[in-house]
Chain A
């Protein structure tokens, strides 16, 4: 596709439910990032993949959060036993990488509301 695609756009989960958020990056992009954005704040880093390798997961807030990118393309962010504080917009971005292609392009995000 032409851009980064995320699904679903909106997700309402009951507290304690597991959720899975999907990201389709731009074709050929090596790197993939997940961010969490609270209202009125900048995106906060969660995790980073280079191809299928998860090189940095230092931003994942707890062991309830898990991300994977098994074939180096589509990625899934999974949140187990959701809690109200997990309510936020989850953004995915991809980057071509290279000497002068270091910027990332974002999807529209998934707004997660935990009730």
Chain B
């Protein structure tokens, strides 16, 4: 069965302290791996799609990378406004594939 596991569950960093969030996945054939940001009381906001191992994408202080078994979301010199829950999700390669989410990592950046 397809599965997405994120770690750590929660992460507290000092402003400027870089770190990485992990997403491990098992899927028969990967159609896409997605990263979302979710703020309290809001829907998930799309960040990145990764399609194949070795691919990388960047947006401001965030960089997402992908291997055959996991993805990392690297955050460089974070600011308090980067505090949010970061969700990883995968979509299998089939004709009618749902998107499966992990439980998320709650990131808190202290000023």
Contact = CB atoms under 8 A, between A and B. Distances in A.
Q: Do these two chains really belong together in a complex?
A: yes
Interface of A: 4, 33, 35, 41-45, 48, 50, 55-56, 58-59, 91, 93, 100, 102-109
Nearest to A3: B43
Interface string B69-111: 0000000000000000001010100011011111110000000
Given A42-B87, A42-B103, A106 B45 contact: yes
A18 to B, nearest CB: 24
A58 B97 CA distance: 11
A35 B46 CA distance: 15
Contact of A106 (B32, B43, B104): B43
Interface of B: 4, 6, 31-32, 34, 36, 42-46, 49, 51, 87, 89, 91, 95-96, 98-104
Contact of A56 (B98, B102, B103, B104): B98
Given A33-B98, A42-B104, A109 B51 contact: no
A106 B101 CA distance: 13
Given A42-B89, A45-B101, A100-B51, 20 more contacts: A4-B43, A33-B99, A35-B101, A41-B103, A41-B104, A42-B4, A42-B103, A43-B87, A56-B98, A59-B98, A100-B49, A102-B32, A102-B91, A103-B46, A103-B49, A105-B46, A106-B44, A106-B45, A106-B46, A108-B43
Given A91-B43, A105-B46, A106-B44, A45 B98 contact: yes
A106 B42 CA distance: 9
Nearest to B44: A106
A102 B44 contact: no
